[in-house]
Amino acid sequence: MNLLAHPMEYAILPKVTIGREINVVTVCTVDHSIRVVTKIKNTMKKTKKKYGRYVALSVALSLLVGTIGVAQESTKLSDPEVAHVAVVANQIDIDYATIATKKSKNADILKFAKTMANDHEAVIKQAAELAKKLGVTPKDNAVSKQLLEDAKKKQKELNGYSRAAFDQAYIDNEVAYHKAVIGAVENLLIPETDNGELKALLENVVPALKAHLAHAEMVQKELTSKK
């Protein structure tokens, strides 16, 4: 199945499970993940050196929700697998934005959510067009499977907030999410990619992710100042 043809099936974030023997260590909850993502780059480098690139990728992604999986086995992600993880990561924020448009009445949150949905849908479209051009079908893998499984949990959490509490929870998560995704794309997805055009697509996405982060931090600051 062409996974890019069904983007709305892909959502939210991980406790990554890989390999046959897993030792999962809880680092922190989602609410505190923003404190962890500042350490993502060093963590990924150390993990990559000790356990391999695949495990390091899992560590980077798992830090997005505050859990870290350390596996005994490691395998390099193929380009179709990298493409699928990229699609999932973009769809995650679209699904967050969809929840925001239903629960929030804050003009700044709604504007931010609309931007996230539009920008990430554009990236998915570009990825689909590139996959078609290259004759490549993004391939499901251990990372993407766990992303989808834990995505449902995060969606449920966001939907459970009262309207008054939702805006802060949403934007705090967006700040932490974008910091972690930028680190994962720059330090792992791009290095893992062999195809030049796929690598270029990932590289071109980074400035947009950084702009999203700056926007999220601005909205976060405004919300905090009103308390």
Q: What was the pLDDT predicted at 147?
A: 74
Q: How many domains does the chain have?
A: 1
Any idea which of 8-12, 45-49, 131-135, 137-141 has the lowest mean pLDDT? 8-12
Residue range of the domain that includes 35: 10-225
Is residue 207 predicted with pLDDT exceeding 60?
Answer: yes
Is residue 38 predicted with pLDDT exceeding 80?
Answer: no
Q: Let me know if residue 2 belongs to a domain.
A: no
- Computed from CA positions of residues 72, 26, 171, 114, in that sequence, does the dihedral angle turn out positive or negative? positive
Query: Which residue reads 């998560």 in tokens?
Result: 173
Q: Let me know if residue 1 belongs to a domain.
A: no
User: In whole numbers, what is the pLDDT of the chain averaged over residues?
Assistant: 75
Is residue 6 predicted with pLDDT exceeding 90?
Answer: no
Q: What was the pLDDT predicted at 34?
A: 39
Is residue 80 predicted with pLDDT exceeding 90?
Answer: yes
Going by pLDDT thresholds of 50, 70 and 90, the confidence category of residue 53 is low
Q: Let me know if residue 29 belongs to a domain.
A: yes
CA angle at 209 for the pair 98 and 88, rounded to the nearest 5°: 55
**Mean pLDDT along residues 19-45:** 39
Q: Let me know if residue 113 belongs to a domain.
A: yes
Q: What was the pLDDT predicted at 9?
A: 34
Is residue 57 predicted with pLDDT exceeding 50?
Answer: yes
**Mean pLDDT along residues 176-191:** 90
Q: Let me know if residue 105 belongs to a domain.
A: yes
Task: Please report, for residues 50, 76, 113, 184, the alpha-carbon distance to residue 142 in angstroms, rounded to integers and kept in the order given.
Answer: 20, 12, 29, 16
Q: What was the pLDDT predicted at 70?
A: 31
Q: What was the pLDDT predicted at 143?
A: 77
Q: Let me know if residue 121 belongs to a domain.
A: yes
**Mean pLDDT along residues 145-171:** 89
CATH number of the domain enclosing 149: 1.20.1260.10
Q: Let me know if residue 5 belongs to a domain.
A: no
Q: Let me know if residue 18 belongs to a domain.
A: yes
Please report how many Cα atoms fall inside a 13 Å half-sphere around the Cα of residue 52, on the Cβ side: 13
**CB within 8 A of 87, min separation 6: which ones?**
3, 4, 7, 10, 124, 127, 138
The Cα 187–Cα 47 span in angstroms is 12
Going by pLDDT thresholds of 50, 70 and 90, the confidence category of residue 49 is low
Find the helix packing angle between 142-160 and 163-184, rounded to 10°: 160
Is residue 46 predicted with pLDDT exceeding 90?
Answer: no
